[in-house]
Every structure is written in structure tokens, then in C-alpha cells.
Chains A and B, each alone.
Chain A
Amino acid sequence: MFECALIQGELFRKLIASVQDLVQDGNFMCDANGISLQGMDSSHVALVALALKKEGFVEYRCDRDVTLGINFANLAKMLKCMGAKDRLSIRAQDEGDSASFVFESEDSSRVSNFELKLMQIDQEQLGVPETQYKAVIRMPSSEFQRICKDLSAIGDTVSISVTKEAVKFSVGGDIGSGDMSLRQSESGDVDGDDSEKVMIELEEPVQQNFALRYLNNFTKATALSKTVTLSLGTDMPLVTEYKMDNLGSIRYYLAPKIDE
């Protein structure tokens, strides 16, 4: 038997919204520690990895490891029926062919029950090697979203270059070119919210090119976290990570574009 409950069901809906345009379906792997999900886009350019810790749930029970094969568009249809402040419970039998989703309003005056048919998904899991990244940037997620959206109107590839002082997003297209730089926030600045700051950890300067179409897709997760962390190395995928307080994180890996 697998059973879990989230006070903020809305968070789960946002999570599904953050993967469903990239990956059509996937296996929720549930074990005693939490839930994980991995999936690639159809072109195998990007990989999304979701990790939810059991500590983030108000209730969590997993007697035996279960795999829930889920079509995200279908799940999203059911989650649409959930109220913004509803509590969400998910239940599945060990060998069942469906999972139940229960939405309950704050005052328990409304309860909704949905059964989602599960799928058998034959999906290979990819191993992500432990990597020492050359540059790690933490910035407001809304700022990253705006940059990706605005630059994609000018070109389809962004060059991200990082130095100790700043991270620069450059774009070029038929109409011209441009760049936007974000300076590392002053370390002595004790005022203000930490999530508003731009923090750069740098081992050595790095520059890589990425498809804006995918980055824009990743920013669907902006609603999940105030900050986003970008990790870059030379000739390796970019990691775009959104951390949710104690629930876990969603990570997107994007293969670089190589300048020929």
C-alpha cells in the first residue's frame, strides 16, 4: 500500500504543470524515503528529475516500493478539479492498475475522489554522474524567467557566461544581438531578502550555449520556488534547479549547443 498526503495540494499541481510540457508520461517511483521521477523530452535534449522527500508530506506510508506509471496530461485534467487550498491525498495498492487522488477543502466541506488509470511505461533511467560544476549561480526565479522569455524574442540560442563578478546572458538573431548581465550581490549587504540576491560561486569562468526554447520550458517551475540555481561546467549539461522548502526539488538538465 502506498499513501501520502500534502496540505498544499496546489504544490503538486504546480509540479505536474512543470513537467507535463516536457515529458508526456513517466514513472513515479515511490519508496520508503519519498517519490522520484525522471523523464526525457522526445528529442532527448533535456532531462527532468523530481525528488520529493517524505518529510514534506503530512502523511507518508510506503510498505513496498511501488511504481506509478502516469500520463501527465490525464493527471493534470484531474488535478484541475482540485481547489486552490485543498489538501491532496494519493493512494495506490501494491499491484493496482489505478491510483486514487482525493481533494479535500480546508473545512472538509467538499471532498472529491478521482481514480486515474495507470500505465505500464518502459522507461530507461539515466544515471547522472556526480559532477563538480565550475560555476553555480543562485538568482531570483522570476528574474531568470523574464530573461529567458525576453531573449527568446530575439534569438533561439542563449550564451551564458559566468565570471566572479557577473553572469551574462547573450543572444543573437536576424534583427541584431544583445546581452543582459546580472552582477553578484554585495556580500556586505545585510538588508533585504536573500532570495532577491544574485550569488555566484565560481571555480573558473565558463561559457556555454543553450536552446532558449527548453529554458523557457523549465521556467514553468518558477511558481514552485523564489530562487533558481544554475550549475554550469565546460561541455556538460546545465542544471536548472528549483528547491521547494522541505518537500524536495525539481531539476532540469539541458545538453549544451556546441559552436561548430
Chain B
Amino acid sequence: PFQQQTITNFFFKA
């Protein structure tokens, strides 16, 4: 029932 998010969805490319 859970879907794993990725960290790149939250942090921007510097």
C-alpha cells in the first residue's frame, strides 16, 4: 500500500 518516494523529488540540483 506504500509507495517509496525518491529524494530527488524534494531536493533540487545545485
Q: Which residues does A use to contact B, with CB under 8 Å?
A: 40, 43-47, 124-129, 157, 209, 211, 236-237, 253-260
Contacts and interface: CB of A to CB of B under 8 A. Distances in A.
Contacts of A211: 4
A44 B14 contact: no
B7 A255 contact: yes
Given A259-B1, A260-B1, A253 B11 contact: yes
Nearest to B8: A44
Nearest to A233: B10
Nearest to B2: A257
Contacts of A47: 7, 11
Main secondary structure of the interface of B (DSSP, over half): mixed
Interface of B: 1-14
Given A126-B8, A129-B10, A254-B7, 10 more contacts: A40-B7, A40-B8, A126-B12, A129-B12, A253-B11, A255-B6, A256-B5, A257-B4, A257-B5, A260-B1
B2 A237 contact: no
Contact of B13 (A124, A129, A157): A124
Contacts, number: 60
3 nearest interchain CB pairs? A257-B2, A255-B5, A127-B14
A145 B9 CA distance: 27
B1 to A, nearest CB: 6
A237 B10 contact: yes
B2 A253 contact: no
A45 B2 contact: no
Contacts of A124: 13-14
Contact of A45 (B1, B6, B11): B6
Contact of A43 (B2, B3, B6): B6
22 contacts: A43-B6, A45-B6, A47-B7, A125-B13, A125-B14, A126-B13, A127-B12, A127-B13, A128-B11, A236-B10, A237-B7, A237-B10, A237-B11, A255-B4, A256-B5, A257-B2, A257-B3, A258-B5, A259-B1, A259-B2, A260-B2, A260-B3
B5 to A, nearest CB: 4
Contacts of A125: 13-14
Contacts of A46: 7
